[in-house]
Amino acid sequence: MLRISDHSGRVNALFPSDYAFRDIYLLASATEDEPDTDERAIHGLEGWIACYEKCRLAGTVFAGGVTEPGAIADHPALETARAMGAAIA
């Protein structure tokens, strides 16, 4: 849950406030390449989003088969992510 701290050290959730974020995107990578690899991450994020009635999961991009540093450089999911980002108004 996204939280903010006041000066007293208490931590307060943002969901009762007038937060400005609305569309949430998930960009994920993993060594595994099965189509459902990111399913649990998406499900967890949806649980967090459920706390914010003004928000929605606007998109997800998954890059599977990323096994070493730099391996994502030419992954096709990056173009998908770029296109998704370009479409944000």
Amino acid in position 10:
R
Q: For the chain, how many structural domains are there in total?
A: 1
Look up the domain containing 28 and give its range: 21-85
Does the residue 48 lie in any domain? yes
The pTM of this model reads 0.76
Does the residue 6 lie in any domain? no
- pLDDT (tens digit, 0 to 9) for every residue of the chain, 89 residues total? 455 545 555 555 666 778 888 999 999 999 999 989 999 999 999 999 998 899 999 999 999 999 999 999 999 999 999 999 999 97
Does the residue 1 lie in any domain? no
Does the residue 54 lie in any domain? yes
Does the residue 5 lie in any domain? no
| pLDDT at position 17 | 77
Cβ-based neighbour number of residue 63 at 10 Å: 20
Distance CA(21)–CA(80), nearest Å, equals: 22
Does the residue 14 lie in any domain? no
Does the residue 8 lie in any domain? no
Distance CA(62)–CA(37), nearest Å, equals: 8
Does the residue 10 lie in any domain? no
